[in-house]
């Protein structure tokens, strides 16, 4: 189950305009089978680097460049000027008071987690036929399908915000683009 703290973090991200598509994509778009209808889509995570590259792992040159890029982006987000001393995010974390060994390990772990997400994602070339991934399901059934969020109606409403839209008491139909999330014993049409 996603901790209450992590869910609250997602809501803070949303309120401040940041992406909430970290573990899975949550979006509203036109229904591909009925263009006059908009629906909520749940799909695989949006990765910081194309799946085809990141699955090659930490030893790949391109993934190494991505890791370097991650460090520079985080340094800029803390408004820390990059110098020869702090080009490594570990140095940035140290400047902010982190333990050097722990900072280096945690950044590496975050990249390894993103690699694992990529490994379980469906490659782009297998996603060309959108109807294969069209699985309508009632929002009320999401807790059975993906129990890591305890109340999917509340989660959806807090991500959508009142200014965008709100969903009802669980009878709203949404689309799962991940069949792996849809076990046989749960109603996924």
Which pLDDT tens digits describe the chain residue by residue (189 residues)?
555 777 788 788 788 887 777 778 888 889 999 899 888 888 888 888 899 999 999 999 999 999 888 777 666 666 555 555 545 556 666 667 777 677 777 878 889 988 988 888 888 888 888 888 888 888 888 888 888 788 888 888 888 878 778 888 767 888 888 655 554 444 444
Point out which residues pair with 171 in neighbouring strands: none
Q: Which residue has the tokens 């109807």?
A: 131
pTM: 0.71
Q: How far apart are CA 172 and CA 138, in angstroms?
A: 6
- With 0-12 CB in 10 A as exposed, 13-18 as middle and 19+ as buried, what is 63? buried
Q: How far apart are CA 42 and CA 149, in angstroms?
A: 13
């Amino acid at each position: 189950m996603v901790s209450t703290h992590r869910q609250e973090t997602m809501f803070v991200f949303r309120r401040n305009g940041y992406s909430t598509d970290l573990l899975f994509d949550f979006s509203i778009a036109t229904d591909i089978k009925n263009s006059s209808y908009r629906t909520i889509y749940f799909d695989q995570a949006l990765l910081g680097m194309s799946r085809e590259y990141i699955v090659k792992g930490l030893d790949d040159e391109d993934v190494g460049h991505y890791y370097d890029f991650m460090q520079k982006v985080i340094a800029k987000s803390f408004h820390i000027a990059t110098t020869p001393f702090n080009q490594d995010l570990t140095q940035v974390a140290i400047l902010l008071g982190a333990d050097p060994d722990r900072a280096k390990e945690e950044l590496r772990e975050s990249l390894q987690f993103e690699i694992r997400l990529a490994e379980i994602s469906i490659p782009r070339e297998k996603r060309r036929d959108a109807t294969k991934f069209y699985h309508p399901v009632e929002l009320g059934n999401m807790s059975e399908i993906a129990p890591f969020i305890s109340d999917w109606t509340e989660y959806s409403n807090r991500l959508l915000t009142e200014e965008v839209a709100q969903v009802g008491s669980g009878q709203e139909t949404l689309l799962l683009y991940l069949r792996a999330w849809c076990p046989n014993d749960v109603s996924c049409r």
